[in-house]
Amino acid sequence: MTEKKFGWYDSDYSEKKASTRIRVLKPIAELKKRGINIGLIHNTDVSHFDTVILSKIYGKNAVEITKNALTCGIPVVMDVCDNILERAERRGQTSRLASIESQLRDASLITVPTNDLMKIFIDRLPELASKIQIVPDMLESLPISRSTGIFHWYRIKRIESFLSKNDNMLHCVWFGKSSGIKSGISHLDLIMPEMERYNKKFGLTLTIISNKRMLYRKVSRKWNIPHFYIDWKLGDFDEILRKHHVAVIPIGINDYTFGKTINRPATALMSGVGVIASSIPSYEELRDFIYINEWDKGFLEYGGNWNEELVRIERAQDFIQKKYDSSHITDAWLNILQSI
């Protein structure tokens, strides 16, 4: 293996993107620890690699990299973490949809994080069935804080001030990005009646950690609960997350959200935060540790039996660490590279 050279492409190598961290940067770091000669691709000339992996399979550079690799007889692995076919189709991007389908057909191998996403692709393109394999996300434990300085202090004081003004309430948090009406902040409307009902009886707050301030302002106008927005920053995300009791993850089921991974509930649990979530297939393995489609019960249990729920959170952490340990996921990536 050490004599082969592997190149990994993404359109953006910023740590700010969770998908880049857990499906590009962290796997590369772990593979390097195993002695694998692997690195990032920074231009479209890939002739010096023995295999290329693409985590961004559409766009001019991705198409050019694939074309150049195939011309040189270099195997191409397409790593797909979302239902990008549905996204292109929903947006009416017919040329991008055709490009994605062509890229997938040209791939030597396709990797996806969940069995359900694999089924979605096979249903759409049955000819891909023989070359799709599952490699789960390499879940991460974020540092409590990597930020310093006056701006960090100001952000922390703002969230602490909001929570302290609503002391003795159940502090809920929603975090993530939004993809229009298909996923994100707008789905909080699905559970707002339950949140408002609990708030009237016992008291509840909701913090939004995201990068969609204007969308938050639009959808939150009709919320009758104390709520607060703070921009997502990698450096202090975990520190802010840990100040809450429970993460709420409402999901409207559609072709885009159906194949999502356990990344969000796992992130909350590994930070010591409980989870109440909608039901999608990947969340089922966490059913013993979180509340799935049980919003009223979940709020009552986290609000009234916090010490008991902490025990379940600790059990969840142990489960996640054992199943999604980086060594297991690294083994899966090694098997992929060895099979090419």
Task: Assess whether 200 and 305 both reside in one domain.
Answer: yes
Instruction: Give pLDDT, residue 1.
Output: 47
Instruction: Give pLDDT, residue 15.
Output: 87
The side-by-side arrangement of strands in the sheet containing 76-79 is 37-40, 5-9, 51-54, 76-79, 109-112, 132-134
The mean predicted confidence, pLDDT, of the chain is: 92
- Between vectors from CA 167 to CA 162 and to CA 170, what angle results, nearest 5°? 95
SS (HEC) of 235-304: CCHHHHHCCCCEEEECCCCCCCCCCCCCHHHHHHHHCCCEEEECCCHHHHHHCCCCEECCHHHHHHHHHH
Arithmetic mean of pLDDT, 61-86: 93
Instruction: Give pLDDT, residue 89.
Output: 81
Instruction: Give pLDDT, residue 106.
Output: 94
DSSP class of residue 186?
A: G
- The answer on pLDDT for 145 being more than 60 is no
- The answer on pLDDT for 146 being more than 70 is no
Q: Model's pTM, two decimal places?
A: 0.90
Q: Give the chain's length.
A: 340
Asked if the structure places residue 292 within a domain, the reply is yes
Task: Assess whether 225 and 271 both reside in one domain.
Answer: yes
Task: Assess whether 250 and 186 both reside in one domain.
Answer: yes
Here the tokens at position 287 are 């059913």
Task: Assess whether 311 and 331 both reside in one domain.
Answer: no
CA 38 from chain centre, in angstroms, equals 24
Task: Assess whether 199 and 76 both reside in one domain.
Answer: no
Arithmetic mean of pLDDT, 213-240: 94
Arithmetic mean of pLDDT, 316-340: 94
Asked if the structure places residue 145 within a domain, the reply is no
- The answer on pLDDT for 137 being more than 90 is yes
Arithmetic mean of pLDDT, 198-216: 95
- The answer on pLDDT for 308 being more than 60 is yes
Instruction: Give pLDDT, residue 166.
Output: 95
Task: Assess whether 34 and 129 both reside in one domain.
Answer: yes
- pLDDT level of residue 307 (50, 70, 90 thresholds): very high
**More confident call, 88 vs 162:** 162
134, β-bridge pairs: 112
- pLDDT level of residue 183 (50, 70, 90 thresholds): low
Arithmetic mean of pLDDT, 204-223: 94
d(CA 206, CA 296): 15
- The answer on pLDDT for 144 being more than 70 is no
Task: Assess whether 314 and 334 both reside in one domain.
Answer: no
The domain that contains 114 carries what CATH number?
Answer: 3.40.50.2000
78, β-bridge pairs: 54, 110
Asked if the structure places residue 144 within a domain, the reply is no
Number of domains in the chain: 2
Asked if the structure places residue 64 within a domain, the reply is yes
- Residue 67: which domain range? 5-138+325-339
Arithmetic mean of pLDDT, 227-248: 95
